[in-house]
Amino acid sequence: MDEAELDLGERYADLGSIGVGGMAVVHRVHDRELDRVLAMKIVRAADLSDAWIDRFLAEARVLAEIRHPHVLRVYRSGTEAGWHWFVMDLADRSRKREQPPLLYDLTLRGGTLDTGLVGRRLCAITSRLAASPGYLDAHGRPTHPRELVGHRLLRYTATPSVRPWTFTRDGEVAEIDVDAAYSADSGEALVAAAVAGLGVANEPDFLVDAHLASGALELLLPDWKGFSAHFWALTPSRFPSAATRAILDALDENLRSNR
C-alpha cells in the first residue's frame, strides 16, 4: 500500500509513518488548525473487503463517542479518493514504566514485583476474557482459544514486550498470538472498548466483573484459565508516611478477601 498517494490537504502536514497495524498505516501529522501533532490511521478501500472497511469506519465512530481518560480522542474521520482515515490523539510512549514508583508516595501495579522495589501484596488477580453481547452476536462465540484467531482482539501494550495470550485447561496449553484490532496501554481503556463492541478483551477481573454483572460484557471460555498475578502497592521507601500507611491499611482491609 502506497499511502503517499493520499493528499492530506492543507490542514494536515505529514510527519512520517509511525507504525503498521493489520491493514492500516498510522502517520504522525501536524494539524495546522489545532496547531498540534496527532496520529492519522489510514487504509485504502481497494486493498480491503467491504466488511473490513465497515469495521474500520465503525471503529472510528465508536472511538469518537467514548469519553474516557485512557482512550485516545478521535477528532475527525473521512474518505478521499478511495482512502479512509481518522485522526486521533498521538499516544506518548516515551515515559518509562519504571519511573512512577520512585516519583510518587504510592503506586498500584499488577504483575510481578520488580527487583529493588518496595511493595505490599494486596490481592490476587486473574484475567477475564470477555466481549459485548452485540459483538458476539455479530462475530460468534468462541468455544476454544484457537477460535480467537480471526476475532478482533484488544491488546494491552504497557508491558516491555508483546506476549501471546496463554490459556490452560486440564493440562492443555493454548497460546494465541495477538494480531490486535485495537491496542492501548490502559486496561480500563480496553474494557471500555470491549463494552463499546470493538472486540474481545483479556483483562483483570477487577476491571471486568462489574460489566459482566451488568450484562454489558459476556464471559468467554470460562473453563479455561488465563493469566494470574498479584496486585501490589509500591512505595519508594520501607518507611512510608502516616498518610500513606493509612491508605495501605485501607486497601489491605478491602482487598483481603481476594488473596
- How far lies 32's CA from each of 8, 36, 40, 77, in Å? 11, 7, 14, 16
Beta strands in the chain (DSSP E): 12-21, 24-31, 36-44, 74-80, 83-89, 107-111, 118-131, 153-156, 165-169, 172-176, 180-184, 200-204, 218-219, 228-235
Residue 253 lies in a domain: no
In a shared domain, residues 109 and 209: yes
Closest CA to 29 of 41, 20, 21: 41
Rounded to two decimals, what is the model's pTM?
Answer: 0.59
Per-residue pLDDT reduced to its tens digit, 26-76: 888 888 887 878 888 777 666 666 776 676 667 666 666 655 555 556 667
Per-residue pLDDT reduced to its tens digit, 86-136: 787 776 544 444 444 455 678 877 777 665 667 888 888 889 999 999 999
Angle (CA) 125 129 135, round 5°: 145
- Across 40-44, 62-66, 138-142, 252-256, which has the greatest mean pLDDT? 138-142
Please compute the mean of the pLDDT values over residues 218-224 and round it to a whole number.
97
Return the CATH number at 138: 3.40.190.290
65-96 burial: b if 16+ Cβ within 10 Å, else e: ebebeebbebbbbeeeeebbbbbbebeeeeee
Residue 187's φ and ψ, nearest 5 degrees, are -60, -35
In a shared domain, residues 116 and 202: yes
Q: Domain range for residue 191?
A: 100-231
Residue 247 lies in a domain: no
In a shared domain, residues 112 and 50: no
On the question of pLDDT at 257 being above 70, the answer is: no
Residue 51 lies in a domain: yes
In a shared domain, residues 133 and 75: no
Closest CA to 132 of 186, 58, 75, 77: 58
In a shared domain, residues 83 and 146: no
Residues 6+ apart with CB under 8 A from 226: 126, 127, 128, 129, 165, 166, 167, 202
Kindly state the percentage of the chain with pLDDT values over 70: 70
In a shared domain, residues 137 and 221: yes
Gap between the Cα atoms of 214 and 226, Å rounded: 22
In a shared domain, residues 104 and 219: yes
Q: Over the chain, what is the mean pLDDT?
A: 78
Q: How many domains does the chain have?
A: 2
Residue 243 lies in a domain: no
Residue 256 lies in a domain: no
Q: What is the pLDDT of residue 209?
A: 93
For residue 140, what is its C-alpha cell? 460468534
